[in-house]
Amino acid sequence: MLRKKLGQTGIELPVIGLGTVKLGRNTQVKYPKSFVIPDDKAVQLLLNTAKDLDVNFIDTAPAYGSSEERLGELLPGKREDWIIASKAGEDFVDGQSSYCFSREHLTNSVKRSLQRLKTDYLDIVLIHSNGDDLTIIDQEGALDTLAELKKEGLIRATGMSTKTIEGGRRCLDLADLAMVTYNPVETECKSVIDYAYTKNKGILIKKAFASGHLCANKKECTTKGIFKFVFDVPGVTSVIIGTMNPAHLRENVLSLS
């Protein structure tokens, strides 16, 4: 598995990361088909497959239902075998999302994630934006809070899962990385990726396949083609692929060769 440096953080990521929303939540999601949350045996097989494929980068969040708790129980091997990214700012309780970006809430959220994941540090923590990126950064001071937690040794790298171009660029001014949407039909954030490249900051790509919608009815759409499109942009560090199917994960990895 090809690996890339995450900006100036000293962290090296595989170019594919495993997104884990499907391990803990199947309501109010934007996938084209409904699905059943996999049982522990199926999750263990998926994680073992990821480890075998050198996909040791895991993306989770409190908003992903029981994902964090399950990973804390089921991740194989030692903690240092894995690079774990979580988020803060959004919670998902009783089928509803809620957002809070206060210093107290973000701090408690990160510490709760540490407990759920059974670790004393997180490699990456991203602010889980509600779409009002600049307000969260400049008025709520959310990235400042993460910077404080980084100084305490609880986090190795900080950033935001952004939803606007302005928010992505502002995030890169203040933090280590940004997560942005980028795929052949949603290219608005290329300028953010280019900006990250000039500043030697990290970029994680979400929704490279538009949550499964991109290739749903297009015979000419291929996994290999989409990866080529995304990785042709020099600033991209890693793409997060959300799956609960080991064969699908293996197919994604093989398509990079």
Return the active site residues. 64
The phi and psi torsions of 14 (rounded to 5 degrees) equal: -65, 150
CA distance 159 to 247: 31
CA distance 126 to 202: 12
The residue type of 89 is G
- b/e for 213-241, b at 16 or more Cβ within 10 A? ebbeeeeeeebeebbeebbebebbbbbbb
Instruction: Give the H or E element holding residue 55.
Output: none
Helix (H, G, I), strand (E, B) or coil at 19: strand
Query: Which residues make Cβ contacts (< 8 Å) with residue 108, sequence separation at least 6?
Result: none
Cβ atoms < 10 Å from Cβ of 72: 17
Cβ atoms < 10 Å from Cβ of 121: 16
Query: Which residues make Cβ contacts (< 8 Å) with residue 136, sequence separation at least 6?
Result: 89, 101, 127, 129, 130, 142, 160, 167
